Amino acid sequence: MVGGDSWIIANWKSHKTVPEALEWVRRVGEKIDVRKNVKVVVCPQFEAIPEVKKEIMVGNLPLLVGAQDISPFPMGAYTGEESASSLKLFITLCIIGHSERRRYFGESDQLVADKVRMAREEGIIPLVCIQGEETPVPEGCELVAYEPVFAIGTGNPDTPENAQQVAQKLKEKYGEKLQVLYGGSVTKENVVSFITQPDISGVLIGGASLDPDEFCEIVRKVHEAYS
């Protein structure tokens, strides 16, 4: 990363009950250092979001909360959807268009763009997952995660050099303001190789974010690499 803020984002997917989520937050929140230019975000399942937020506020812990999805509609008659206007009380950002949502829930680029618009209207930062250079980045989106499908949950990450190239091309196409994260089999062993690339501003972590000790180690290594 060159200049600007950096992000370490835990995507728990459909893992962790509320008590498990709170245990993780306590352990990680008390162990990690605060660095002004590194934002650490945890994205639990919906039902844990208010509880996690409360735990962070009460303990004054150096963590932000994110959601893994958001409704493309405002509050209203949309059964099963979580509206941006209710989520905004708890979350700073929202993952949108993860490849698992595109694959298992049929999310199209248009739906992703609608969700981005709704998040922005409510002051939530949209973090759009793109699967390659060709995935469109919706208008107004300034934070994306490059997550090649072959690398997700496989233990087979992309190379840092290729991730850097993709990030560079995205910035050429959409402007320098766009921040690009890398995601896909990030671990404590490889995180530094990604975050030290000039155009990569952080990481989105699935599997390796579930274990609090591993996650703390990732945060520690990122801090060390930036200091």
- Gyration radius (Cα) of the chain, Å: 16
- Per rule CB under 6 A, is residue 205 in the interface with ligand PGA? yes
- Per rule CB under 6 A, is residue 206 in the interface with ligand PGA? yes
Residue with CB nearest ligand PGA? 206
Give me 54's structure tokens: 């409360």
Provide the annotated active-site residues.
98, 147
Nearest one of 127, 136, 84, 132 to 109, comparing CA atoms: 136
CB of 204 to ligand PGA, least distance (A): 5
Stretch that binds ligand PGA, among 37-45, 159-167, 199-207, 218-226 (CB under 6 A): 199-207
CA distance 70 to 65: 14
CA distance 5 to 41: 13
CB of 98 to ligand PGA, least distance (A): 6
CA distance 181 to 145: 4
Nearest one of 129, 124, 200, 125 to 168, comparing CA atoms: 200
Dihedral over Cα of 120, 92, 41, 80: its sign: negative
Binding ligand PGA (rule: CB under 6 A), the pick from 11, 68, 131, 193 is 11
Binding ligand PGA (rule: CB under 6 A), the pick from 184, 199, 216, 217 is 184
- Per rule CB under 6 A, is residue 44 in the interface with ligand PGA? no
Stretch that binds ligand PGA, among 68-76, 134-142, 177-185, 214-222 (CB under 6 A): 177-185
Q: Give yes or no for a contact between 116 and 129, defined as CB atoms under 8 angstroms apart.
A: no
Give me 178's structure tokens: 């766009």
Binding ligand PGA (rule: CB under 6 A), the pick from 19, 59, 74, 153 is 153
Binding ligand PGA (rule: CB under 6 A), the pick from 113, 152, 166, 178 is 152
- Per rule CB under 6 A, is residue 147 in the interface with ligand PGA? yes
Binding ligand PGA (rule: CB under 6 A), the pick from 66, 148, 207, 212 is 207
Q: Give yes or no for a contact between 33 and 88, defined as CB atoms under 8 angstroms apart.
A: no
Helix (H, G, I), strand (E, B) or coil at 95: strand
Positions that interact with ligand PGA (CB under 6 A): 11, 147, 152-153, 183-186, 204-208
